Amino acid sequence: MPGIIVVGSQWGDEGKGKVVDVFSQKADFVVRYQGGANAGHTLVVDGKKTVLHLIPSGVLHPHTTCIIAAGCVLDIEKLSDEIRALKENGLLKDDAQLQISDSATVILPYHKVLDQAREKAAGLEKIGTTGRGIGPAYEERASRKALLFGDLFQKDSLRGKLEVALKEKNFLLEKFYNEKPVSVDEMITLIDKVAKYLEPYRSRDTSLQIYKALKATKKVLFEGAQGSLLDLLHGTYPFVTSSSTLSGSAMIGAGIGPGTINQVMGITKAYTTRVGSGPFPTECDNEIGERLRQTGAEFGATTGRSRRCGWLDLVALKYAIRLSGITSLALMKLDVLSGFEKIDVCNAYELDGQRITEYPVSPGDLARCKPLYESLNGWKEDLTQAKSVQDLPRYAQEYVQFIGASVAVPIDVVSVGPGRDQTLWIKPLFS
Ligand code: GDP
Ligand code: IMO
Ligand code: MG
């Protein structure tokens, strides 16, 4: 069946939004299956920038139906703002283009207050979350007290459900974090306003919709948020997000069976970035990192925070490829490396005096790893005008080949700028 899962293979912000936007020219459906407004996916079309947090990155193509599936956590206020902004810009003309699952988990202001209060209380030990209420919302879902999108339209049971959820949350907020409690009435007022605005996008069963689309051989893209190393189970725990960010999560979050999709594209930057706390072996806390940050405009699309920057880490990339069964890669932001005389690539770590080539999963080990680098030749030329991989200077081509050969996965796409036309295809999509 013609489905492709697009996953971030590092710590997020790899350029998933750009890839999904470009791919959506050929896609019938784009499905967001996990995460929430912690994501910031940037699309640049004719020089105009659009940042999406919850709405799938296919939305700029009117023929593409965008689905927010059950695995997502929905900040209903942010979502309404995002829809409104698109409409004001003449985008999203047809309400039917956006479909939201009744089973998605709702994020309300108290989730965000709790998220931020926890971070404040953690001080130096903080995770560096986006403060968007992601952890508290997924916790509430796991504890079976969450409000679902479909609940917003069940007036008779809404108040009771909120009372149950808020009883615990207010205890925590007041007694543990010294924050103001949240009133049920306040939440009902907010929901009344926002639910009406969102009702036209209510699809009820998006799992069925996706199943039918795949059966009818429609082209479906599954858009991951965050990145593999932020995965709740397999990432750099506890410095992770609260959902699974791996390809398997597309099955669960969208509600489709394994075996329906056999193509997984890993999106990777030609170097590495990370926002928030946690280990990052190849981080360059020096002029190299600063140069990558400035040239790559590495500032968070959601929080505006500076992204930590460093060289490409092949040990971590191979781990991500294994975890998600990545079948091909899109190599992003190659243009940012122009002008470096030498480009380092980490192909092993030193851990307690030993050279290791497998990513260490035991708690604390990654933080003790020192990167071992292979140094490759850099190039001076600007890449942003290249129209094909053959246009790239020799050492840039060698860099691409080196990565593909090192991880034993084909690189299907190379990106040399934020724009749609700055995309070099090695293998056409849906081929
Ligand atoms: P996402 O979260 O994975 O969708 O990535 P973000 O949108 O948070 O961050 C990627 C940033 O890099 C955005 O500002 C994109 O416009 C930009 N970008 C994407 N591809 C390229 C590229 O090939 N070159 C350059 N210079 N910028 C790119
Ligand atoms: P996209 O989809 C980069 C990071 C946060 C923090 C950790 C937990 O744009 O790639 P959370 O708010 O999820 O509880 O924060 O995860 N994080 C991201 N980093 N890109 C993202 O999304 C991220 N979403 C969350 O910075 O370290
Ligand atoms: Mg991002």
pLDDT tens column, 221-238: 999 999 999 999 999 999
Looking at ligand 2, which residue's alpha carbon is closest to its atom 23?
226
Q: How far is the CA of 13 from the centre of ligand 3 (A)?
A: 4
Pair of tokens at residue 259: 């075996």
Q: Which residues are catalytic?
A: 13, 41
Report pLDDT for 431. 65
Is domain 3-95+204-425 classified as CATH 3.30.70.380?
A: no
Query: Which segments within 327-382 are labelled E, that is strand?
Result: 328-332, 342-351, 354-356, 370-377
Pair of tokens at residue 387: 């129209």
pLDDT lower than 70: segments of the chain: 1, 431
Measured CA to CA, the distance from residue 270 to residue 343 in angstroms comes to 10
Looking at ligand 2, which residue's alpha carbon is closest to its atom 6?
129
Q: Is the CB of 360 under 6 A from ligand 2?
A: no
Q: Work out which ligand 2 atom sits closest to the CA atom of 12.
A: 10
Q: Is the CB of 137 under 6 A from ligand 2?
A: no
Whether 105-201 and 3-95+204-425 are alike in CATH topology: the answer is no
Q: Is the CB of 333 under 6 A from ligand 1?
A: yes
Looking at ligand 1, which residue's alpha carbon is closest to its atom 28?
418
Q: Is the CB of 40 under 6 A from ligand 1?
A: yes
Measured CA to CA, the distance from residue 53 to residue 51 in angstroms comes to 7
- The amino acid at residue 195 is A
Helix (H) or strand (E) holding 206, with range, is: helix 206-215
Question: Could you tell me which residues come within 8 angstroms of residue 425 by beta carbon, excluding any fewer than 6 positions away?
Answer: 412, 413
Q: Which ligand is nearest to the CA of 307?
A: 2
Q: Which ligand is nearest to the CA of 274?
A: 2
The predicted model scores a pTM of 0.97
Residue 169 exposed, middle or buried by CB count within 10 Å (0-12, 13-18, 19+): buried
Nearest Cα to Cα of residue 55 among 68, 42, 64, 73: 68
Q: Is the CB of 107 under 6 A from ligand 2?
A: no
Report pLDDT for 325. 98
Report pLDDT for 396. 98
Q: Is the CB of 133 under 6 A from ligand 2?
A: no
- Are 225 and 247 contacting, i.e. CB atoms less than 8 angstroms apart? no
Q: Which CATH architecture has domain 105-201?
A: Orthogonal Bundle (1.10)
- Are 369 and 346 contacting, i.e. CB atoms less than 8 angstroms apart? no
Report pLDDT for 429. 78
Q: Work out which ligand 2 atom sits closest to the CA atom of 129.
A: 15
Q: Which ligand is nearest to the CA of 51?
A: 1
Q: How far is the CA of 302 from the centre of ligand 2 (A)?
A: 9
Provide the residue ranges of all domains of the chain, joining segments of one domain with +.
Answer: 3-95+204-425, 105-201
Distances in Å between the alpha carbon of 144 and those of 113, 252, 373? 20, 17, 47
Nearest Cα to Cα of residue 414 among 221, 270, 225, 228: 270
Nearest Cα to Cα of residue 247 among 348, 309, 327, 137: 327
- The amino acid at residue 408 is A
- Are 261 and 9 contacting, i.e. CB atoms less than 8 angstroms apart? no
